[in-house]
Amino acid sequence: MNKIVRREYYAMDVVLVSPLCVSGGEHELTDADVMRDYEGTPFVPGTSLAGAFRNYLGKKKGEKSVFGYAKEKEGMMSSLYVSDMYFENVDGVKTSIRDGVRLGEDKIVLDGGKFDREIVESGARGTIYIEAILRQNDTMDSVYAMIEQWAAAIQKGEILFGGKKNRGFGRLKIHHFYTASFGAEQKEKWLAFMEDWKKAIKNEEYLTDNWKDTDLSAKYVHISVPLKLTGGISIRRYSTRPNGADYEHITCNGVPVVPGSSWNGVIRQDIKTLLRDMGCNNAAFLLHTWFGFVDEKGGKKNAKQSEVVIAEGILENSVSIPMTRNKINRFSQATIDGALYSEISYFGGTTRLEISVKKDANKSYYALLGALILAIKDIQRGYVSVGGQTAIGRGIFAAEQEIIWSEEIAEEECMTALYAVME
């Protein structure tokens, strides 16, 4: 008999440091509404959390025994149970709507490419609960060590949750980590604990900081680029405030941000231009390899995930300025009747461009790093701009400080790798 020999319990108090997009498939408000329970409360399903953990674990030894499997007549029950994550202070959880457009290779809006999605804004707090049941015949490595790895990876931004992860969504920070373990001989203590274990575990007895010292084998190279805004920036969304401006720069919890999708579009386009100017004959292939793609031609969907994760940047110490403008007839240079509109743009301030690049065994990611280095330098020099109204000087940044790398990277090696992949 494969007896249970130990039960382990974990709780991670977390806070959203970027927006979260977990859709339930409903589209009453937007094209992708936030998942809600029967009472209308936003939550993150345990399946979504477990999926992110399993994806991080990959094909490592012990994956089947941890999460279980089913193959024809064979199978094994999962040893882990991941609960749904609900947010604290539900009344204070803010949701908003993000607009977006699908652009073609030449930054032209595709037909039917306008879409919107509902998000949970940053700042929301919740708890991830995990229960592990260990049996005599389990051959897995220490569950505690594995979950410590997950906690460290969450803190470093290598495990993200929900949709649009590669464009800055779904990042958490852990504030507290609790763990409790009960052997077969601790039946009475376990029974008392299980009366309300999600409440009982949040006790100083079970609080630990050991996970912070976990030796994490990083799966990404992380790049942090401090930048300062030299003028204004305008990444528009329609204002929903009564008597407000027609348009306003996008914000999260009232703080101006630069979405990861905006950074990605600028960087991808700049790399495309650089590759073309360098005489690269396989630019389209490289861009698809590095930044991913979705192809739905012929009724079949062919897609590849991006190797680049770009975080949403917060604009600090920036000043909002309301403005009123007229649309101009490009031929006559006269104002268009009824085309007066108002907007709110932000000026000055600083931000950080945070980029993570997925590693691979053969180190082909060095070529991608080389291309990113060139694009970052163009941003620092003000050669490329972010957002709208670039023709009037919006969205130009300059270097604030030196680039910060998560590990030592030789620029010369990256550039050599880049030239090697170009035909």
Of the three residues 182, 213, 244, the one that is the final residue of a domain is: 213
Q: 13, 86 in Cβ contact below 8 A?
A: no
What is the pLDDT, as a whole number, of residue 376? 97
What is the pLDDT, as a whole number, of residue 410? 92
Q: 240, 251 in Cβ contact below 8 A?
A: no
Same-domain pairing of 134 and 240: no
C-alpha closest to that of 121 among 143, 98, 101: 98
SS3 (DSSP) at 337: strand
- Model pTM score: 0.85
Same-domain pairing of 106 and 9: yes
The count of domains in the chain is 2
Q: How far apart are CA 367 and CA 370, in angstroms?
A: 5
Same-domain pairing of 406 and 357: yes
Same-domain pairing of 208 and 224: no
Same-domain pairing of 80 and 183: yes
Same-domain pairing of 122 and 189: yes
Concatenate the DSSP letters of all residues of 292-314 into one string: -EEE-GGG--EEE--SEEEPPEE
Same-domain pairing of 137 and 276: no
DSSP H/E element including 321: strand 319-328
* CA angle centred on 214, ends 211 and 219, rounded to 5°: 120
Residue 252 lies in domain: 220-421
What is the pLDDT, as a whole number, of residue 39? 86
Same-domain pairing of 361 and 334: yes
Same-domain pairing of 172 and 264: no
Same-domain pairing of 122 and 76: yes
The residue whose two tokens read 């290779």 is: 105
Same-domain pairing of 14 and 110: yes
Of the three residues 213, 231, 263, the one that is the final residue of a domain is: 213
Same-domain pairing of 160 and 280: no
Of the three residues 213, 236, 258, the one that is the final residue of a domain is: 213
How confident is the prediction along the chain (423 residues), in pLDDT tens digits per residue?
A: 668 888 999 999 999 999 999 887 767 777 788 888 888 889 999 999 999 998 888 755 445 567 766 777 776 667 889 999 999 888 778 888 887 666 666 556 566 667 788 889 999 999 999 999 887 766 555 788 889 999 999 999 999 999 888 888 999 999 999 999 998 889 899 999 999 999 999 999 999 998 998 888 889 999 999 999 999 998 877 655 666 666 788 888 889 999 999 999 999 999 999 999 999 989 999 999 999 887 766 556 677 889 999 999 999 999 988 877 666 666 666 666 666 667 888 999 999 999 999 999 888 999 999 999 999 999 999 999 998 888 888 899 999 999 999 999 999 999 999 999 987
